[in-house]
Amino acid sequence: MLLPNMPLSPKWRLPLSVGLPALIGLGCTYCAVRLFTSYGWPLFLGVPILMSFVSALIYRRTGHASWASSYCVGLLSILLLGAVILVFAIDGILCLLMALPLAMVLALVGSSLGYLLGKRLSAGVSRALPLLFVVAFPLLVAFENHTVSPPELHAVTTRIAIAAPIQDVWDEVIAFDRITAPPTGIFRMGIAYPIEARIEGHGVGAIRYCVFSTGPFIEPITTWDAPHKLAFSVTSNPPPMKEFSPWGHIEAPHLHDTFTSERGQFRLYEEDGQTVLEGTTWYRQKISPDWYWHRISDQIIHLIHLRVLEHIKAEAEKNGYVRSTGSRPPSRL
């Protein structure tokens, strides 16, 4: 039977309440990710709620349980699923960490339902309800794949003030030398980061290559309004990150076409004796719920912008100092 209807030995009660939901979650995750290549609502909302519901339901029906203990058991099952996903190389550490806060909140919903219904449902219904959800899961994933609307277009803008002439800043914007600053923070955890930019040609139609740690963005120039605006489309995107697991680098399906940068723009203007440089990226992502994931993506893109803009600022200010004084600026160390 799927759910026992009698008290279990203490040594089996917790393993069953944690292990069985994790096994169910593994099957659902494999179905969504490997069979349908779907990173949508059924995966990121349905799986945590289903797992924590089944976990709390088992724990409640097989002995005395408080709501807090039921939630903790549901959370343990989600953490165990994460460990199993790493072992089977379905996904990497960083993506699991980014999904964890959402799963922890959803576990409140699932475990609460399991706790409340654990002693109210008949034994037959208690056994059949989780099984019904498991059987319905592939249908939900297939339905979402056929009804999903085009991903929303998001824009992220970052600005910085630079103590250098606007022309010096423009010269760095169109193509900048290799960024020597070592990657920090999330960039050290696998998120792709910018390294350098080069350009072939001049004016509209020129091709700009913004090289990241995972490969180049290919950016045909669509607006060349020197020294005020440089706009471009994006015709090729490298992987947004390198996933890591106990097995080393893995090729998770979400590394391909899930995140797409569509176009970008640099805008320059003078204000209070300085040059203000704005960088904007427009992007789409095929991952749901969008209200959760796009906030993470926005913050990551902002950090990418800052790495580029701060490098441009340092180079433009250095070049302006050299031209005005004939010597290199003093070291900041």
Residue 56 shares a structural domain with residue 182 = no
Q: Is residue 237 part of a domain?
A: yes
Asked if pLDDT for residue 136 goes beyond 80, the answer is yes
Residue 69 shares a structural domain with residue 181 = no
Residue 189 shares a structural domain with residue 245 = yes
Q: Is residue 1 part of a domain?
A: no
Residue 135 shares a structural domain with residue 172 = no
Across 242-250, average pLDDT: 80
Which range, of 83-97, 98-112, 268-282, 309-323, averages the lowest pLDDT? 309-323
Total of domains in the chain:
2
Q: Is residue 281 part of a domain?
A: yes
Q: Where residue 256 falls among pLDDT bands split at 50, 70, 90?
A: confident
Residue 181 shares a structural domain with residue 281 = yes
CB 155 within 8 A of CB 279: no
The answer to whether the bond into 240 is cis (omega within 30° of 0) is: no
Residue 262 shares a structural domain with residue 141 = no
Please provide the average confidence, as pLDDT, over all residues in the chain: 90
Q: Residue 135 has what pLDDT?
A: 84
Q: Where residue 123 falls among pLDDT bands split at 50, 70, 90?
A: low
Across 234-254, average pLDDT: 87
Q: Is residue 54 part of a domain?
A: yes
Share in percent of the chain as helix, strand, coil (round to 5): 50, 20, 25
CB 290 within 8 A of CB 152: yes
Q: What CATH number should be reported for the domain holding residue 283?
A: 3.30.530.20
Q: What is the pTM of this model?
A: 0.89
Asked if pLDDT for residue 326 goes beyond 60, the answer is no
Q: What is the pLDDT of residues 176-215, one digit of tens each?
A: 999 999 999 999 999 999 999 999 999 999 999 999 999 9
Alpha helices for the chain (secondary structure H): 10-30, 41, 47-61, 67-87, 93-117, 123-147, 166-174, 290-325
Q: Is residue 163 part of a domain?
A: yes
Q: Residue 323 has what pLDDT?
A: 58
Q: Is residue 202 part of a domain?
A: yes
Residue 316 shares a structural domain with residue 193 = yes
Q: Which of these three, 120, 147, 174, is where a domain ends?
A: 147
Q: Is residue 65 part of a domain?
A: yes
Residue 165 shares a structural domain with residue 302 = yes
Q: Is residue 55 part of a domain?
A: yes
Q: Which of these three, 113, 147, 181, is where a domain ends?
A: 147
| Total number of residues shown for the chain | 333
Q: Where residue 120 falls among pLDDT bands split at 50, 70, 90?
A: confident
Q: Which of these three, 124, 147, 170, is where a domain ends?
A: 147
CB 44 within 8 A of CB 29: no
Across 135-151, average pLDDT: 87
Across 223-242, average pLDDT: 97
Q: Residue 179 has what pLDDT?
A: 97
Q: What is the pLDDT of residues 274-325, one digit of tens each?
A: 999 999 999 999 999 999 999 999 999 999 999 999 999 999 999 865 555 5
Residue 169 shares a structural domain with residue 47 = no
Higher pLDDT, 74 or 3: 74
Measured CA to CA, the distance from residue 4 to residue 127 in angstroms comes to 8
Q: In this prediction, what percent of the chain has a pLDDT beyond 70?
A: 91
Residue 33 shares a structural domain with residue 78 = yes
Residue 116 shares a structural domain with residue 216 = no
Q: Residue 118 has what pLDDT?
A: 78
Residue 190 shares a structural domain with residue 291 = yes
Q: Residue 144 has what pLDDT?
A: 87
Q: In this prediction, what percent of the chain has a pLDDT beyond 90?
A: 72
Instruction: Kindly tell me the sign of the dihedral angle through the C-alpha atoms of 6, 10, 16, 22.
Output: positive
Q: Residue 64 has what pLDDT?
A: 85
Full residue range of the structural domain in which residue 74 is found = 10-147
Q: Residue 132 has what pLDDT?
A: 83
